Amino acid sequence: MTTLTVRPTATFQAIDRTFVVLVMTLLLVGFVAMTSASIEFADRRYGDAFFFAKRYGIYLLLASVLAVLTYQVPMEAWRKSSWLLLLLGFVLLALVLIPGIGREVNGSRRWLAFGPLTLQASELVKLFVVLYLAGYLVRRHEEVKNKFAGFVKPMAVVSAVTLLLMMEPDFGATVVTVGTALALLFLAGVRLTQFLAVIAACAAVLVATVLISPYRMKRLTAFTDPWADQFNSGYQLTQSLIAFGRGEWTGTGLGNSVQKLFYLPEAHTDFVFAIWAEEFGFLGAMFVLALFGMLIAKILRIARDAELGGRAFNGFVAYGIAIMLAAQVFINIGVNIGLLPTKGLTLPFMSYGGSSLMVCVIMMAMVARISQENGGRHAS
């Protein structure tokens, strides 16, 4: 049985330095934003204003340890073990659905409890799907390009994953997983007619999912005109928009948000960007968007270098991570500004959520490993 092997001889000299600076800056900004957004809520609920900040710090410490270990694992080991990780992902998704094992919060069963810490299975599964698809696209590259079966097989696996995700339910993780999978298959050279047919089928399924679910339909109608029912279905979005309006150009100042004072629900999780924009204004919001944009561009550059260097698996993994990161940023911020219907999805590095933070840091460690295996090409 294939196992992950660790080689502690890997050095940090060839890592792209700009990439490291961008990741560290986002982690710092995320800690400040989440701490500020959570202080009042934490003080009211737990009697400790820094309750979430302390837990964020613990998760960040664990993530740092896991990142160092992840960096030591050669990408070839991840390739050989990708199918095992996918199997582990199916097991985790099944476990969260079992009463007594999976923890239910707000009607969704997405978490596994390990003492005081919790693990959101879908966060890991998204990464496992990227690793599996990257390995599949390397093994069956010609089949994917020339045969319909080469396209259907990985989509069947992704469909099985999304079925389990929807049973939790986790609509946001479903959209990100399917979108990332389709983007990777497109990059692998799948025929355009097949790609468009599957896109149309996925869109039909998503529309049907919304139409048959009253609470999703309610969110969609609230999104189209949140002010029509601003104290009920449109409450979160209207309060988020008020936060952006109060921020104006330069913001109200760190800690001076009014919307986090129990006006905007989930201020430290799904709507942390709105609080950041209120406290740091349009310029602060653009700064965060610029950080994400530069980070995603850097990961894509690292992916391209790996591809040009003949390391196709490394390239597909980096492409998948960049696409997944971009999708989550777009969806979360899109929800915050009213561009998309309200959906619970964390903003990478900034929203409170231990699983999201750890998986994001682990993915960045993988990208750093890919950069190291590129030989530090374009490192700066």
**Structural domain containing residue 179:** 85-212
pLDDT band at 58 (very low <50, low <70, confident <90, very high): very high
Q: Which residue has the higher pLDDT, 228 or 99?
A: 99
To the nearest whole number, what is the mean pLDDT of the chain? Answer: 86
pLDDT band at 1 (very low <50, low <70, confident <90, very high): very low
| Co-location of 94 and 53 in the same domain | no
Place of tokens 């940090």: 12
Q: Does 7 reside within a domain? A: no
| Co-location of 207 and 255 in the same domain | no
| Co-location of 108 and 175 in the same domain | yes
pLDDT band at 250 (very low <50, low <70, confident <90, very high): very high
| Co-location of 236 and 369 in the same domain | yes
Q: Does 3 reside within a domain? A: no
pTM for the complete prediction? 0.90
Phi, psi for 220 (deg, rounded to 5)? -65, -45
Q: Does 36 reside within a domain? A: yes
Q: Picking from 188-202, 284-298, 352-366, which range would have the lowest pLDDT averaged per residue? A: 188-202
| Co-location of 206 and 236 in the same domain | no
Tell me what the mean pLDDT of segment 20-28 comes to. 95
Summarised one tens digit per residue, pLDDT across range 326-358 is 999 999 999 999 888 877 788 999 999 888 999
| Co-location of 67 and 92 in the same domain | no
The identity of residue 274, as a single letter, is A
Residue 2 has pLDDT above 60, yes or no: no
- 295 Cβ contact list (under 8 Å, min separation 6): 19, 22, 23, 26, 325
Tell me what the mean pLDDT of segment 278-290 comes to. 96
| Co-location of 90 and 171 in the same domain | yes
DSSP string, 257-287: -STTTTTSTTTTTTTHHHHHHHHHHHHHHHH
Residue 265 has pLDDT above 60, yes or no: yes
Per the structure, how many domains does the chain have?
Answer: 2
Q: Which residue has the higher pLDDT, 244 or 354?
A: 244
Domain boundary among the residues 212, 240, 256 is at: 212
Question: Could you give the CA distance from residue 281 to residue 75 in angstroms, rounded to a whole number?
Answer: 41
Question: Could you give the CA distance from residue 368 to residue 370 in angstroms, rounded to a whole number?
Answer: 5
pLDDT band at 98 (very low <50, low <70, confident <90, very high): confident
Quick check: helix, strand or coil at residue 94?
helix
Q: Which residue has the higher pLDDT, 200 or 64?
A: 64
Q: Picking from 56-70, 100-114, 184-198, 243-257, which range would have the lowest pLDDT averaged per residue? A: 100-114
Summarised one tens digit per residue, pLDDT across range 112-155 is 877 667 788 899 999 999 999 999 999 988 888 888 888 888 98
The per-residue pLDDT for 378 is: 53
Residue 87 has pLDDT above 90, yes or no: yes
Q: Does 221 reside within a domain? A: no
The per-residue pLDDT for 216 is: 63
